[in-house]
Structure 1
Amino acid sequence: MVIDPLSLSKNELIKWIKYTLKHYNIKLKKKLSQVMLIDPKSYRKIFDTVTKCIDDTRNNVVTEIGSGFGTLTASLARASSLYIIGIELDKRFVPILRKVQESFINVDIVVSDATLLLQSMRSIDMVVGNLPYHITSDLLTIIGR
């Protein structure tokens, strides 16, 4: 099920995340610095910031690092002029992310290490994500190039 975190309360979002973790038998991995964004207000801030940056003269390619459940991915995909490339390292999230990709023609999901993939990508207009702590400095260095 693809949800819109912008339309949920914090309690509803937490309940959905817990259900989804249990349904897919996923336990968050500390070694991957996996944490889930559970505040709809934070989703709203990210969404508003990204949509303010939309420029009709550009492709508006948004790369999301650590797509996880696809909640931010789906929110951004609803802004139809954006093309979202979601990058997720953890293959356990693939069944969830495939549903997001199937629901939006402007979303592609790549299962890969973002630190490796970003080095070869061109035409990225924006990078968003709930960045994994253990790779933040590496990612910022790569993005800054």
Structure 2
Amino acid sequence: MKVLLLEDVLLEQLRFQRTIEILGLKIDLTIANHGKEGILLLKNENIVPDLILIDIKMPGQNGIDFLKELKSISNLKNIRTVAFTTSNDPQDINMSYENGISSFILKPMNPNLYKETVKLLITYWKLNIQ
């Protein structure tokens, strides 16, 4: 399974990568630091992930703006996209669903809950994409 992670915080990128390794989840992970970089990877590098995980609050192009652009590109608009974020702002949640997010998941701060959430998230989408 190919996953594109849009996350601007290096520590969060490393946390996700390390959790995947600890859990032994077999995914091909690509990381983009913000929405514009994600779009460039998708368009110019011909990366076509099975799943895109996005942080909502990012500098430059945030997660909502990324979703809007992604859903306007015919050959990319059907990629499953999940908000994996610390934002629990009702406006962010509503805007995400209005712009085609598949799911909205709050990123737990507790390390054990984080690990369990990542495990469930990846396992669920592996089963439902293939």
TM-score by length of 1: 0.41
> Bigger radius of gyration, 1 or 2?
1
